[in-house]
Structures are given as C-alpha cells and as structure tokens.
Chain A
Amino acid sequence: MNSRLFSLIRKEFIQIWRDPRTLALILVMPIVQLFLLGYAATTDVKNISLAVWDQSQTPQSRAFLDAFRSANYFRIAYSVGSQAEYRMLIETGKARAALIIPPDYANRLQEGNAQVSMVLDGSDATVGGTALSTARLIGQSYATKVLTEQLALTGRSATITPPVEVRTQVWYNPDLISAYFNIPGVIGMILSFITALLTATAVVRERERGTIEQLIVTPIRSWELIVGKILPYVMLAFVDVLEVLIIGHWWFKVPVRGDLGLILLLSGLFVLSSLGIGLFASTVANTQQEAMLTVMFTMLPSIFLSGFFFPLDAMPKFLQIVSYAVPLRYYLVIIRALLLKGVGVDALQNEIIALTIFAVVIMGAAALRFRKRLD
C-alpha cells in the first residue's frame, strides 16, 4: 500500500480515537437512533385512550363496549356522565376519542336501528385516522355479529356474509411492524449523516487549525489527501452499517432476506455519494461550524424528501421531482428491498444507476474544487 496514504489514514484514526466526542458520535449515535426510531417513532396506533358515556347502562351496551375492549386499538380509560366531561378530556388530550351510547340503545338494537356516536380528536391526523377506521371496523363486525345472533334466535340459522369481501394479503411485512420499515431507513440516515458530517469537518479542521499549511508543503498528492481523509470514515461507516444491521436483526427481528454482500456493496455506493456531499461542503466552508451547518442544510431536506417518514407518492409533483436529486431516496428503496424483499440486483437497476450517477457527479465536483493550496 502507498505509504503516504497509509500514514495519513493512521494519523486520522489516532485523531478520531483521541477525540471522545467524535468517537461517541460514530459508535453510540447509531444505537441511540436505532432504539429511538425502533420504539418511539412507531406509527403503529395502539391503546388509543377512549372516554365512554354509556347512557344506556344495559347488558347490550356493555357487550358493545366489550367488542371495543377486545380489540387492542382502544383502551377504555374514562367513564363519563356528560358531554362537558368528555369534551374536557379530549381538549386536555387525556382522551383521544369519546364513544357515546344513547339511553335507548338496547331498545333500538332490538328494532334494528341502533346508533352510537363517536367523537375523534383529529388534531393528530395519524391517530385520528387509525381510530376512525378501526372504530368503523369494530362497529361493522359487531353489527354483523348481532345480526347473526338475531337471525339465530328467529330460527333461521344462517351466517351472514357480505356480498363482496376484500381478502388482503400483506407481503414482506405481514404484521405491518413499523420497525421493519424504519430500521433500514435508520441505516440510510446514519450512513449519510456520519460520512458527510465527519468528512466535511475532518477536512475543514485541518484548515481551521492551520495544519493544512504543513500538509500542503509535503509531497502528498491531492488525491492521496482526499482518499486519506475519506477512507477512515468509510471504514467507520461500515462499522455503523454492521452495528445497525446486527442490532436491527437480533433485537428488532428485522429480516435480512437479501444477500449480505450485495447489501454492503450497495451501501458502499451510497457512502460514496454522501462522502461527495461532505467533501464538497468542506470546500465551501472555512470553519468546522460552517461545514456542519452546510451538511445539516442538505441533510434535513434530503431526509424529508427520501421517503423515510412520508411517502413520496403523496407529495406534490414539484417535491417529487426535487426528490430525484436526493441520493438517500434511492438508497432507502435499495436497502428496504434488500432487507425485506430479498430481491437481487435486477430489481434495483434504476436506483443503482441513479446512485452511481450522483456519486460520480458530486465526487467529481468536490475533487475539482478541492485544492491542495491555501488560496
């Protein structure tokens, strides 16, 4: 191996090792983010706190409530006696929904035209939406059950089936567990964040501390300086990928269905594009702080436009077009497909081509701007 390059890399590793904050950032941040997004950032809606105003107080109304109780989605947290009471609970956020059973519920159930009403807190659209659809489902299935029972009582023992039934099959993640979706995203986010941020600050630090002046007058070639600065962070990025994969697989049980070699190879391709962003930022910034802000400035929009949190299909056309310039977007498709679907290269051709183009362009631009000089 080129000995100048080797010296540069060893020096960089000594510096990283001696800087506890950077080291913590590299090794601990992925774990923290993983657990945060694996647990906290779940979009699964469960245990919605429900206030109930049961004006009927009959065995029939209690049976109806049992149907709600037995589904995991709602938790009957409050039993109230007036509209003012549940209004207050919803306003203070203690209850997300209120279920009101009218006094004549039992009688009208007999007649076949019972009505119950539900009030939902729509200020959190995710929770509200899920509560709405599950409440409808619970109501429908309960109604079918009651109808069947009533028919049975009249002697006509037949089961009621709706004329059309949609039988759904969920592939790849049948239980729709958020973590399966989020953890591949975390890999992408950490990879782009760590490599771009650390490369940018590592290069700028030499300038900020004046050490670049001494480095310039050594016979190190420009490309050696670039590679020597970048390679340590590429290696650490792979440590992070493995770290997140291992914890994700063993702790969160995220499947790894694709070929591990392919996962690492395509992660490497993505790392190149993040490094390019970092290197480019380092040629723009004069201080580590500027470099950090520049990277953040590109990082935040790219996370939002990557399809990590919000589906790209639902975005306005303009933002969808912008998202084509976000490398994380392609990588998320790749890593999710590789982990969950276990596909091969042929299914990911477009993404691979797009990432390659991005990596080449940004690296080229950064290398052109990178000068082994002071001016």
Chain B
Amino acid sequence: MNETFFIEAENLTKHFGEVRAVDGVSIRVKPGEIYGLVGSDGAGKTTTMRLIVGALKADSGECSVCGYDVKKHIEDARSQLGYLSQRFSLYEDLTVLENIRFFAEVRGLKPDEWLPRSLEILDFVGLANFKDRRAGQLSGGMKQKLGLASALVTRPRVLLLDEPTTGVDPVTRQDFWQLLIRLVSTPLHLPPNSENLGGVSRRDEGGVAVLISTPYMDEASRCNRIGFMKSGRIIAEGTPWQLRDRLTGRVLELRGSPLNVLRRAAHSDPDVEDVQAFGDRLHIRVREKKADDVLSRLKSRIRSAGGTIEDLRVTSPGLEDVFIALSEASNE
C-alpha cells in the first residue's frame, strides 16, 4: 500500500541572482510526523519553507501539500496548511483575539465557528488570559505562541514552523514542544464534508504533518526525522538515531586537566579528525575503526605532556557531533 505524504517536495530549486539558495531539495513528511530541518544560517531552510507554502516561486521542482500541487492549486493547498514564519508576522496593533479571528476568517471559518475555535486554541497554547491584549505588547515567547495559535486555528493538516523557538526562553521552548507533540499525536476532528481531500482519505488520518526548522540540536533530536541542510542541499537525512549511528564508535569523551594540554595532545594524533569542547570535557572524533588505537596513544601522550586524565572512553555521539562532522565533510 502506498504511503501517504502530506508534504511532498521533489527537487526544489531556487536561485537569488547567482546564489543557489535551494538546490534540489526533496522532502516528504507523513501525517503524524515531525520533520526537522537543521542547518546553519543561510543553509536554505527558510527558503525551502517559503517554496513549500508558495510564498516564493520555485525555479524548478515539484511540490504538493495534501495532494494539492502548489503551482496549480495553491489556494487549495494553503487552505490545508498553517505556517509560522521566522519573523513575527501578525498584526501588532490588533489584539490576540482579533489576530486569531482575522486569520480564522480569511481561512474560511464561519462566523459561528471562529469564536469557540479561537478560545479553544488560545486555551491550548495558554494565551486565554491575554486574549484582549495587543499583540505588540506580548513577550517574545507569547508572540510565538500566538503565531502558532493563529496557524492552528483552522486545524490545518500541515504545519510549517520556521525557527519557532529562536529567541524564546527555555521554559517556553519546552511548552512549545509539548504543544507540538500533543498536536501531532491527536487525531484531527475533520468536518464531515472532507471525506476526500486531494486524494487523502480520512482513514489514513493519523494527525498533523509538521515541518519545523531549528538551530537547536536538542530540538532536532525530538523530531521523528531530520534533514540536515547545507548550502541549499539536504546532505543527510534520517531519524535522530540513524544519524547518530553514523558516528557510533568514533567519538571519544575526555575529561581531565589542563584542558589546553589535552586538546593539543588530541590534535596532534594523526587519526583524530576534530576536537570540540563541551564544558569541562572534550569530544574527540576519530577516523573509522581507529578508536582503540587513538585511545591507547592518547593516554601515554597526555601523561608525557604532564596532563592528568580523569576519564577517557568511547561515548555515544550526540547530534551535535554528527552535524559538525557533516558540515566539515561537505566543505572538503
């Protein structure tokens, strides 16, 4: 049986002048799945999202949302999606409720539907007590929640979130993710007339498909799947586990003192590819199958340089290690 994808992007390409902002990106997201786009600034994450929502026109490639071709049936596709842009893009001179009402109505909610739905969604994101406050007077985190609320008010089946938690405090980030996880795991309450929307039947209905971009690795590790973007391309894709597995057995963790001696010793080993400091410890990435060699060489090297080792062992790689390795690999 064919799998259903709510987002299907195939070979998307977008140039800005000479710059290839997006260069042959393909992404598929299933209902109930959170797909994380990760990558440094300028990697093409925002442009990719803008291409999928049709805010920018792709130079080439295909894209559909819930079965609606973004080029041919953009308005139908848009009626299925909620989008939260990186920059706050609601009306600061409107109140929380007025903003939600506006976006609910222009996206087709009837006069008797929008109010209960808005109150429900404000309650869901925890802004119910602020409904009459002007959006411009909300804190950064509250603005993002309002953005999420107005993206969610029509119960879209596809949600695109562009760095929704950038500049938001850790507690609010935590809240935000709890909201997201609740959202994708909750089956949709579809109206009865939506038996067959763009070829997606109700039986396949699992939940919402989410495409989220984030610069934070802890957030990336919460996604079902991750695409790592670099220079407009997705250079690695998989579950967090699959991505981490690429470096299994290749990352050593070293604690000891003094740190600069340890670092110099590690760098001088021919089989060490990279050394990164994580607080009081170093993560040392080594060539494939060289972990044991490096381990024994490093011990003697550090002792002869006058350093002390508290702990040195092979550790399970973090996503951060993987992304650093990927970024460097593609630079070469």
Do A and B interact?
yes
Q: Which of A234-275 contact B (CB under 8 A)?
A: none
Contacts of A213 in B (CB 8 A): 50, 55, 83, 85, 87, 89
**Residues B54 and A209 in contact, CB atoms below 8 Å apart:** no
Q: Which residues of A contact B237 (CB under 8 A)?
A: none
A72 to chain B minimum Cβ distance, whole angstroms, is 54
Instruction: Please report which residues of chain A, range 343-375, place their CB below 8 angstroms from some CB of chain B when the two chains form the complex.
Output: 373-375
Also in contact, A217 and B57, with CB within 8 A (given A11-B102, A209-B92): no
Given A217-B81, A221-B75: A15 in contact with B55 (beta carbons within 8 A) = no
Instruction: Verify A210–B98 contact, CB threshold 8 A.
Output: no
Report whether B94 and A220 are in contact in the complex, using a CB–CB cutoff of 8 Å. no
CA–CA, A375 and B81, complex, Å: 20
The verdict on A18 contacting chain B, using a C-beta distance below 8 Å, is yes
A155 at interface, CB cutoff 8 A? no
Q: How far is the CA of A373 from the CA of B105 in the complex (A)?
A: 21
Contacts of B83 in A (CB 8 A): 213-214, 217
Q: Which of B81, B101, B106 has the most CB of A within 10 A?
A: B106
**Contact string, B102-133, partner A, CB cutoff 8 A, digits 1/0?**
11011110110000000000000000000000
Which chain B residue lies CB-closest to A16? Answer: B93
Are B106 and A4 touching (Cβ within 8 A)?
A: yes
Is the C-beta of A216 less than 8 angstroms from some C-beta in chain B? yes
Set of chain A residues within 8 Å of B103, measured between Cβ atoms: 214, 218
**Which residue in chain A gives the minimum CB-CB distance to B102?**
A11
Q: Which one, A209, A221, A375, contacts B56 given CB within 8 A?
A: A375
Of the candidates B55, B98, B111, B150, the one whose C-beta lies within 8 Å of that of A374 is B55
How many of A's residues come within 8 Å of B, CB to CB?
Answer: 25
Contacting pair B78 A7 (CB below 8 A): no
A373 to B53, CA, bound (A): 10
With a cutoff of 8 Å between Cβ atoms, the chain A residues found around residue B87 in the complex are: 210, 213
Q: A3: CB under 8 A from chain B?
A: yes
Which residues of B are found within 8 Å of A19, using beta-carbon distances? Answer: 93
Q: Which of A4, A211, A373 contacts B91 (CB under 8 A)?
A: A211
Nearest residue (CB) in B for A8 is B106
A contact residues around B224 at 8 Å (CB): none
Inter-chain CA distance A214–B108, complex, in Å, is 15
Contact B106 A18 (CB under 8 A): no
Q: Are B92 and A217 in contact, with the CB atoms below 8 A?
A: no
A272 to B318: give the CA distance in the assembly, Å: 62
Interface residue? B79 (CB, 8 A): yes
The complex places the Cα of A374 from the Cα of B81 at a distance, in Å, of: 18
For A5, give the chain B residue with the smallest CB separation: B106
Contact in complex: A218, B93 (CB < 8 Å)? no
B88 contacts the other chain (CB 8 A): yes
Would B90 and A373 count as touching, CB distance under 8 A?
no
Residues of A within 8 A of B94 (CB): 11, 14-15, 18
Smallest CB gap from A19: residue in B: B93
Per the bound structure, the CA–CA distance linking A211 and B92 in Å amounts to 9
**Which residues from chain A contact B111 at a C-beta distance below 8 Å?**
3
Q: Is the Cβ of B55 less than 8 Å from the Cβ of A373?
A: yes
* 8 Å CB contact of B55 from A18, A217, A219, A221: A217
Produce 1/0 per residue, B40-67, CB < 8 A to A. Answer: 0000000000100111110000000000
A-B contact pairs, 20 of them (CB 8 A): A4-B108, A7-B101, A11-B102, A14-B93, A209-B92, A210-B89, A211-B90, A211-B91, A212-B89, A213-B83, A214-B83, A214-B89, A216-B53, A217-B53, A219-B79, A373-B55, A373-B57, A374-B50, A374-B56, A375-B56
Most buried by B among A8, A14, A218, A375: A218
Chain A, range 6-58, C-beta contacts under 8 Å to B:
6-8, 11, 14-15, 18-19
Query: Interface size of B by Cβ–Cβ distance < 8 Å?
Result: 32
Known contacts A15-B91, A210-B85; 15 additional CB pairs below 8 A are A7-B106, A11-B102, A14-B98, A15-B94, A209-B92, A211-B90, A211-B91, A214-B89, A216-B54, A216-B55, A217-B83, A219-B106, A219-B108, A221-B75, A373-B55
Q: How far is the CA of A219 from the CA of B90 in the complex (A)?
A: 16
Distance between B111 CB and nearest chain A CB, rounded to angstroms: 8
B54 touches A217 (CB 8 A): yes
Task: State A84–B238 Cα separation when bound (angstroms).
Answer: 99
B96 → chain A, closest Cβ, in Å? Answer: 13
* A217 proximity list for chain B (CB < 8 A): 53-55, 78, 81, 83
User: Which of chain B's residues have a CB closer than 8 A to the CB of A6?
Assistant: 105
Given contacts A210-B89, A213-B89, contact A218 B107 (CB under 8 A): yes
B55 neighbours in A (Cβ, 8 Å): 213, 216-217, 373-374
Chain B residues in 8 Å Cβ range of A3: 105, 108, 110-111
Beta-carbon contact of A375 and B57 below 8 Å: yes
- In the bound assembly, the distance between CA atoms of A14 and B102 in angstroms comes to 11
Residues of A within 8 A of B90 (CB): 211, 214
Known interface pairs A14-B98, A373-B56, A375-B57; A218-B106 also in contact (CB < 8 Å): yes
6 A-B pairs with least C-beta separation: A7-B105, A214-B89, A210-B87, A217-B83, A210-B89, A219-B75
Chain B 68-91: CB-based contact to A (< 8 A → 1; otherwise 0): 000000011011010101011111
Complexed CA–CA distance, A375 and B22 (Å): 14
Compute how far the CA of A216 lies from the CA of B53 in the bound complex, rounded to whole angstroms.
9
Note all chain B residues with C-beta closer than 8 A to A210.
85, 87-89
Residues on the B chain within 8 Å of A375, using CB:
56-57
In the assembled complex, which residues on chain B have CB atoms less than 8 Å from the CB atom of A14?
93-94, 98
B125 CB → nearest A CB, Å: 16
Evaluate whether A18 and B93 lie within 8 angstroms (CB atoms) in the complex, with A214-B103, A217-B53, A218-B106 already known: yes
Interface string of B305-319 (1 = CB under 8 A from A): 000000000000000
Q: How far is the CB of B27 from chain A (nearest CB, A)?
A: 17
Compute how far the CA of A220 lies from the CA of B93 in the bound complex, rounded to whole angstroms.
21
Q: Which residue of B lies closest to A3 (CB)?
A: B105
Please name all residues of chain A whose beta carbon is closer than 8 Å to the beta carbon of B50 when the two chains form the complex.
213, 374
Q: Mask for A194-228, Cβ within 8 A of B = 1, else 0?
A: 00000000000000011111101111110000000
Which residue of chain A lies nearest to B75 when distances are taken between CB atoms in the complex?
Answer: A219
A219 touches B107 (CB 8 A): yes
Which A residues lie within 8 Å of B85 (CB)?
Answer: 210, 213-214
Bound-state CA distance A373–B50 (Å) is: 10
Question: In the complex, what distance in Å separates the CA atom of A220 from the CA atom of B111?
Answer: 17
